Every structure is written in structure tokens, then in C-alpha cells.
Structure 1
Amino acid sequence: MSASVSAEKDAEGRRGGSALIPGGRRDRIRLALLTCASAAVYATYSLVSLARFRASAYDLVIFDQGIRSYSRFEAPVSIIKGVHNEFGVDFTLLGDHWSPLLSLLAPLYWIHDGPGTLLVAQAVLLAAAIPFLWLYTFRALADGRLLGVRNARLVAYAVSFGYAISWPVVETVAFDFHEAAFVPLLVAILLESHQAGRRSHVILAAAGILLVKEDMGLLVAGLGFCFLVQRGSRRLGAAFVVTGILAAYIATQVLIPAFGGRSNYYWAYSALGGDAQEAIVNAVLHPIETIKLLWTPPMKMQTLLLTLAPVLLLPLFSPITIALVPLVLERMLSNSFPNWWVSEYHYTAFIVMIVFIGGVDGACRISRRVSARAQAKGDGSADDMAAKFINRWAVCVIAVGVAIVPFSSLGKLFTPGFYSISERQKAAAEAVSRIPDGVLVEASNNLAPALSSRTQTLLWDRTPRRAPWILADAGKKTFPFLSLDEQISRVRFLLTQGYEKQFESNGYLVLFRR
């Protein structure tokens, strides 16, 4: 052990074991500032997007309607989802995805009733994972005697900052609101609690994860496989594997159908078979064809490499990364939903915390190997070499994170155009203001969030719903229409069906049928 590192560790050791459990006022203040600043940036991005009509009915209004129903002590009905997807006007969120944990957000609607509430809640949830990631990183480095306490703190801040600006978090913020916002926090709590030996907290966090979405049983099972290779955690690992697989089955095959949904509604593996049993049999009988699906199209592998890039691929050296396998296979073996395998949207948020904690663990394992090899060669600076490796890795985490920012949605936050108001956006605001409160309205995808809190909002789609009010867009292609010409034709059709123009500007039209 080199003199410098040895002296620092000995000095910290003389202060008592509590030195390795940070509780200092400075650390609490710094973590609070980083967490609050991150939440503020996320909320700013989301709220500006909402105000500039960049949010969408699919999926922000879906969640807004459902959680508003929760806040009124009703079933989480989303009329916009039920009508557009032909489930009926009484369709609930629980028939779409098994996400009962969303009910925890209902009391926030007693403070402010509107989709902006969900965007702020998501910002806070994503940022709230930072202190747990920091503590995990600090403990892995300081308790493991890889770095002195002071240096371990700095590396922990670097990793936490890397998470805060990472593209999986940023793209989650950029695409409305989703239940994925709960997962980084719950996974961070679970893995930090497991590291600290607080098994009851581990179990509670796992229970919370199972209530986020029906496929989170795969994540819990993945964590179980990870624990199976760790001494002292094998019973817990086995319990997680069994519980996770069972929970995923019950959620998809029993609970979702019980609430009006269909167990195969999101089946995306027609290349393997028509159901899970057939897909498993085909995967076993035709392994080469199944493996080919993992990089067909090549965008799948690009997304996977980009997922590991913020921590320089070091999760590949950690058994923690085993936890990623079930969810990665779920996404990359699909052949029906392209959104699942691209880098946009929120899907990587489900695994981003495992990636970062796996990166920390991988860095620790590599540094130990570096130190062991140096000691075997009789190099007296073995500890210094290991410390340099971790320090340089931490610097690279920040550098890579910052380098990716201009290419992620976060980069838009630093451009004037993100905040400016165009003539078309002014027209959108005027069109929205022409819709009376409390009416039934079919609204264009990007205008629906502005109406959701004060009207019964349906999606203006390819099927005439005959709502008395319609807020249409004939100026730019919008979901779910196939082309702008189709939207223009729909407006012309509506005008022949008794609808009258109440407003028209920059492509936006307000139609009313008496």
C-alpha cells in the first residue's frame, strides 16, 4: 500500500467506523442541492414542453385521466384510452398495465388538478434516486478500502451527476409521464439496502417494483438471479426468481383481464409464436433464429451499447448486470413495437439504475484486479494504480455524460427555440381557449393535454366519435393519422356532417356541431 493512500485510510480509520457512513452536514447539503437541481431541470423541461404544446395525449392524458379518477376515490378510468383503443368509455388503467402504485400520486391532485402535476412528480421521483446511488457508490469504494473517504465522496458525486444527465433519464423526462419514473428510485433503494444488509428494506422495495408494471416481475426475477451468485443471498435470490416470474404471470394473465384488458394486447413476439408457451418452445428448438432477433434490426444493438455507454461498458464486468437480462430480452426479442428498441422514450429508465450500479461494481472489481496484479509483480504503488483507475473512470463518466447531452433531449433545454413561442403555438393556445369547460371534445394529440383538466377529452383520431366539439389539426401530421392529407380530408368530411367552424388559424380548427 502506498504511503499517501495508507495514511488517508489510517487517518479515517482512527475516527471510528462511523467515518464510512456519511452523515456530515456538508454531504447532506450537497446531495440535496444536486437532487433538487436535477428535479428542477427535469420539471422545467416537462412544464415548458407542456406549455408549448409538445406534450401528447398518448400518454400524458391517459395517466392524467386515470390518476384524477384515483383522486376522487374512483376506479382509474381513462376515457381517451378506452375509446381510442375500442375498450369502452369505462376502461381503467389497470386493464392496460398493472400499475397500482400510480395511486400514490392521487393526493397530489388535491393540491393541483392537471397533467403538470404528473410531470413535476416524475421529475422528483427520477431525481430522488440520486442520494441512494451516491451512498451505494461511496460505500462500495470506502468500505472496500479502494479509495480514501474523501476521494470516495468525489467519485460518488461524479457517478451521481452522470446519472442525473444520462440519456435514459432525460428521454424519460422528454416523453410525457410514465410509471417508469418509480423504478430508478426503487431499484436504488433495493440495491443500496442489500449492500447495507437491510433485508426488510430490500423486500419492501421489491414489492413496490412489482406494483409498477406487469413486467416488473421480470426485473425482480433478474435481481434474484443476480443474488443467486452472491454468498449469503442465495435464498433471497431464489425467492425473488420464483416471486418475480409468478407475479408477472398473475399480472398479465389474471389481473389485467380482470380489469377489462387483454392478456395478449402487448404481445410483440409473433416471430417466435402466438403466445408465451409457443415462443419458449420455438426459442429452445431454434436458438440461432432467436438470437438473430436480438440484432434485427441493428438498431437494437446500437441502443444496448448506448445504454452501457454512460458508464463505459463496465457493467459487463459485474454480476449485478445479470438483473438486466430479462428486461433486455423482453425488449430486444420483440418484432412488433419499434418504440421498444430505440433510444427515445422511457423504456431504458427501467434499467438505468442497474446500469449505473453495475458500472460502479464493475469499476471496483477491475480496480481490485489491477491492484492484485501490481502486488503480484511486487509493485509498491498497487493501491495508487487502482485509485487512479477509478478516478479516471469517474472523470470519463462525467465527460461521456456531458458529451451525449447535445445529442439527447436535454440539449434542447439550452437552445432559445425551446422557450420561444411560434405563431402556430399562439394559434394553438387560442384554439384551446375556444373550448368551453366541461364539454366532450375530440382533441388533436398535442392539444389534448391542455384540455384534459377541464373537459372530457377524447383523441381526435381516424374514427369519427361525433363529439360536439372537435379541436383538429390540419397543419401538421399528428398521431394517429397516417398523413396530413388524411387529416385535411377528415376536416372536410366533418364539415359535411353538420360541424361548423368556430375558429381557424395556422392549421388549427375548432369545430362545433349543434
Structure 2
Amino acid sequence: MGYSLLGLVKFYTFRTGIYDLVIFDQGVRGYANFGPPLSFVKGNWQELGSAFSLLGDHFSPILALLAPLYWIHNGPETLIVAQAALLSLAVVPFWTYVNRVLGARAAYLLGIAYLLSWPVAEAVNFHFHEYAFVPLITAILFERLQARRRSHVLAAAVALLMVKEDLALFVIGLGVSLLFVHEWRRTGTVMIATGVGFLWLTSNVIMPAFGGDPARYWYYSEWGRTPGAAVTRIMTRPQEILSVLSTPDTKLWTLLLLIAPLLFLPLLSPYVLAPAALLAERMLATDPGAAGWWGTRYHYNAAIVMALCCAGVDGAVRLRRAVQGRRLNWFTPTWTVVTAVIAVGIVPFFAFGNVFMPNWYKAGPRSAAAVEAMRQIPDDVLVEAASAVGPNMSARTKVVAWAAKTAARPERAPWILADLKEKQPHFDSLQDQAADVELLRQRGYHEIFSQDGYVVLFDPVSVG
């Protein structure tokens, strides 16, 4: 409930954004209408008003499971609540996993540590992402692995592959870890082969078939121009890995914040190879475009937090076995208490801490103007919108991000809702935003609303 509150308050006080909330809202609405997951936000960079399939951007067919929820409520709020529920439900199989080896007290304490963990809070703070499915599926996978249900483990691995193509790296990493356990070697081999084949198939066949570009998110230019070249260099020049992992130092701080709250116990488990594979994907990136991958913000760390928790539990069990009879029986109970205390102590420094701040619930001074500006936009029209108000119109209009005319995309939407007081993602400055509004006026757009920085314009030719 707390995470639903966090997300919904941000939505209703205009603190969400077009990226990525509107993108997913448009895509899931497509599934709900028994069509493809098309996004006008993604398509707008190719042609005005065109829709681009989310399956060409990332292979995430699992989003179709959310479609029936849109029959109950058709809007981004549905995604916000669904994400909170998915992230929270992960604690149920995780509790079973911990209880089986460490007891109920430890299961409750570590369950609290997961629920209050900063990666979960930051994922919710970023409004919505398909990674919301990952902790739940991961917890089920590790619980089924612990229960020695081979077919269930493989089914959970397949479910992870349906979340996003790069989860193949997670499956590969887990498969490698299983090679160290004799009775699981065959399963590990199957997972490695499946992960490698799936990653190649989605990147080179499936996503391009939906209009995607395999090089769209290639941020490894210092390693090579292609995956093969990059892997070859990494394998032949491993001494460069440490330099890349520590540049910038944001990467090191993120790694520390991920494993230190668990007192580094995940490092004692071979299962750490699964989240490590996803971390390598992010931290070995060299280009500035990948800067969002390296820090603690956004949703990326939510994909690995549950795996790290499960690896931490396995590490604790291994440590207990190694020191059995050496009067260290106090360590595991102490570890679970300390881990829970650290999780609670970190809360104020990350997004979930806002829930406990009374002033955070208050709408900003421009909220009334935002509401009135949105009221000027008719239903079912294509509108270039300022980022903060775009999600609140997504259920009834075709929202795209407000952006200036370019040579590649000279057309403009018939309706524009601009914001002259808050910098927008596709402009370099407020001055550029004001200049774009003036250019639109010169092109014949009529201004029908202007208040507190919000400006609504429409093109009478295209509208008429």
C-alpha cells in the first residue's frame, strides 16, 4: 500500500513523466484493446503520429498480463498500483525461501529488508517499468530451486525471459552457477544454452521484425562496435575491466550500496553470478548515454535486488555450515537483524522516505494551472505535451513528448501543451522552449491558454 501511495501521489501532483509511464500506458492499452503494444511516444521520432511497437524496443510480452486490469481502470494509475503489488508480492515466496533454511524470525526480518530496500523504492519512484515482474519471478525461481523442482525452475526462467531480453543474461549467469552443483549441471547447461540462443534471437530477429534496431542501446564503443568485438576485447584484455568498472566512481558506490546492506554475504554464494551478469551489462558500458544505468536512481536495480537477497541467504547458510561447531551460531540471527535495521535506516535517504514527509503530499503552486491547461485539450487528439502533464492526459489523448522541429521530423502535432518554467527532456534550456513556442505562433498556431508558465496552442489548419 505504501508503494501505491508513493506512486499515486506523484501522479496526481504532476511529478511523473512521459518517460516511461506514458510509453507503457500506451502499450498496455494496445494489449487491452486486443491489439499490438503500440506507443505514440516511441513512434513520434520516426513520423508524426505514428505508433511504434514496444516489442521492437524491448521484448517484453509479459506486459500483456496487465491488459485485463485496464478493463477495470483505463489509465496510468493502473500501472502504478500493479507495479506496487508485484514488487510487494515477491516477499511471499521469498519468505518461504528464507523460512525453510533460517526460520520464521529470519524470514520476517529479511522480508522487511527487501520491502524497504532502496532499489524497490527507486523503481516505484520511476513510475513504471517491466522490471516490476522480476523480483516476484526471481523469488519463485529460487524457492523452487531450493525445493528441487527442476521443471518449475525452468518455467520460472522462461517467465524471466518474457520480461525483457536482457534477462537472458540473468538466466545465463544462474546457469553457470548451477554448473557447480553436480545434480543441477544438466539444468545449468540447458539454461546457458537457452539464454544465449534467446538473447541472439530477440536481438537479431524478433525485435528487428517489429522495427527495432539491434544497436539501439549499444553503449560499449570503447570495447568494440559489435558484441563479438567487445567480448573478444574483454576476454583478451581483462586488465581494463577494473578501470571501466570504476569510471565514473558512481558505479562503485552503486555496487557498494547493493551488497553492503546484506553485509557482503551474497559474495559467498555462486548464485551471485546471476545478478552479477546484469550488473556487468550496466557497469561495463562506457558511453555517456548509459549514465542512467550506473547510479541508484530509476528501476535498474530492482531487477537484481531479490537475487542478491536470495544469494545472501544462501551465503549465510554456507557460512553457517563452514563454521559449524566453532561457536559462531550467533552470526546468522545477528545478520538478519542488522540487515533489517540497515534497510530501515536507509529509508530516509531514498524515495520511500517521502511518504513520511507531510509537505510531500502537497501539490505544487502550479498544479491548478496544469489542470486548467489540460482541460483545453480535446479527447482523442495528438498532443505534444510537457513531461509532467503528459501522463495525466494519456488515457484520453495520443500523447507524445514536446520537442522542437528537426530535419528528421519537421511536422508538429496539432495541439501543443508547453511548459516555459520547467526544463523539458528534449530542449537544452528554458530559452529554447520559449523560442519554440514563439516559432509555433509564427507558423500560425493559436494560443488559447497561458497561465503560470503553461501554454496551450493549436494549429487551426490541422485541427479544422
Question: Which of the five TM-score ranges fits, normalised by the shorter chain?
Answer: over 0.9
Aligned to 2:423: 477
**In structure 1, C-alpha distance between the alignment counterparts of 2:245 and 2:399, rounded to whole Å:** 39
The equivalent residue for 2:68 is 107
Structure 2 equivalent of residue 129 of structure 1: 90
SS of 2:234 mapped into structure 1: helix
Q: Return the alpha-carbon distance in structure 1 between the equivalents of residues 47 and 382 of structure 2.
A: 17
Residue equivalent to 2:320: 367
5 Å-filtered alignment, 1:307-456, equals: 307-336=258-287, 337-372=290-325, 374=326, 382=327, 385-386=328-329, 388-456=330-398
C-alpha deviation, 1:110, in angstroms:
0.8
How much does 1:424 deviate?
Answer: 1.0
Query: Deviation digits for residues 386-409 of structure 1, max 9, x if unmatched?
Result: 1x2111111111111011111101
Contact 2:48 2:413 in 1 (8 A): no
For 2:450, what is the secondary structure of its paired residue?
strand
The answer as to 2:17 corresponding to 1:44 is no
- The letter of the residue matching 2:24 is F
Q: 1:99 to 1:273 in 2, by over 3 A?
A: same
Residue 63 of structure 1 aligns with which residue? 24
* Residues 219, 326 of structure 1: 8 Å contact kept: yes
Counterpart-to-counterpart distance in 2, 1:506 and 1:68: 32
Residue 367 of structure 1: how far off its partner (Å): 2.5
Output the CA distance in 2 between the equivalents of 1:279 and 1:348: 24
Structure of larger gyration radius: 1
Counterparts of 1:421 and 1:291 in 2: how far apart (Å)? 45
Match of 1:513 among 455, 459, 464: 459
Count of aligned pairs between the two proteins? 454
What one-letter code is carried by the residue in structure 2 that aligns with 1:511? Answer: L
Superposed displacement of residue 310, structure 1: 2.6
The answer to whether the 8 A contact 2:49-2:382 is kept is: no
Contact 1:122 1:181 in 2 (8 A): yes
Q: 1:461 aligns with which of 403, 421, 430?
A: 403
- Tell me whether 1:261 sits opposite 2:225 in the alignment: no
1:170 maps onto 2:121 in alignment:
yes
Structure-1 separation of matches of 2:240 and 2:267: 24
Alpha-carbon distance, 1:164 to partner: 0.1
Query: Quick one: distance in 2 between partners of 1:426 and 1:308?
Result: 44
Q: Show the counterpart of 1:146.
A: none
TM-superposed deviation, 1:469: 1.2
Distance 2:306 2:86 in 1: 13
**1:418-477 deviations in whole A, cap 9, x for unaligned?**
210222122112211221111111101111101110011111013364222110000111
The answer to whether residue 94 in structure 2 is matched with residue 140 in structure 1 is no
- 1:349-387: CA deviation from partner (whole Å, max 9, x where unpaired): 111111101111112222233323x2xxxxxxx3xx31x
**Structure 1 residues 24-56: Cα deviation after superposition (integer angstroms, max 9, x where no partner):** xxxxxxxxxxxxxxxx11111111111011111
CA offset at residue 498 of structure 1?
Answer: 1.1
Q: Counterparts of 1:123 and 1:510 in 2: how far apart (Å)?
A: 34
Q: Is the 8 A contact 1:293 1:332 kept in 2?
A: yes
SS at match of 1:232: helix
Alignment partner, residue 131 of structure 2: 180
Change (3 A) 1:355 1:283: same
Matching of residue 90 in structure 1 with residue 51 in structure 2: yes
User: TM-score by structure 2 length?
Assistant: 0.95
Q: How far off is 1:316 after superposition? A: 1.0
* Equivalent position of 1:26 in the other structure: none
User: Which secondary structure state, in structure 2, belongs to the residue aligned with residue 74 of structure 1?
Assistant: coil
Q: Tell me if the contact between 2:125 and 2:351 (Cα under 8 Å) persists in the aligned partners.
A: yes
Indicate conservation of the 8 Å contact 1:95/1:261, yes or no: yes
Q: Read off the aligned partner of 2:319 and give its amino acid letter.
A: I
- 1:73 pairs, out of 21, 27, 34, with 34
Alpha-carbon distance, 1:86 to partner:
5.8
Query: In the alignment, residue 436 of structure 1 is paired with which amino acid?
Result: P
SS in 2 for 1:458: strand
- Residues 31 and 67 in structure 2, CA contact (< 8 A), matched pair in contact too: yes
Check the 8 A contact 1:166/1:310 in 2, yes or no: no
Q: Distance in 2 between matches of 1:403 and 1:481?
A: 38
Q: Percent identity?
A: 46
The residue aligned with 2:232 is: 281
Contact 1:67/1:103, CA 8 A, preserved across alignment? yes
Cα offset, 1:130, TM superposition? 0.4
**1:166-198 CA distance string (max 9 Å, x none):** 001110000011000011111110110010122
Say if 1:423 and 1:506, in contact at 8 Å, map to a contact too: no
> Take 1:431 and 1:309, find their aligned partners in 2: how far apart are those partners?
47
Of residues 84-93 and 484-493 in structure 1, the stretch that sits farther from structure 2 once superposed is 84-93
Mapping of residues 239-250 of structure 1, within 5 Å = 239-250=190-201
Paired position in structure 1 for 2:440: 494
Q: How far 1:87 moved relative to its partner?
A: 9.6
Instruction: Considering Cα pairs closer than 8 Å and 6+ residues apart, tell me whether 1 or 2 has the greater RCO.
Output: 2
Match of 2:244 in 1: 293
Give the whole-Å Cα distance in 2 for the aligned partners of 1:130 and 1:284. 38
Q: Residue in 2 aligned with 1:24?
A: none
Query: 1:84, 1:459 within 8 Å by CA — same for their partners in 2?
Result: no
Corresponding letter in the other structure for 2:429? S
Which runs of 4 or more aligned residues in structure 1 lie more than 6 Å from their structure 2 counterparts after TM superposition?
none
Matching of residue 220 in structure 1 with residue 177 in structure 2: no
Answer yes or no: is the 8 Å Cα contact 2:262–2:312 preserved in 1. yes
Consecutive unaligned residues in structure 2, runs of 5 or more: none
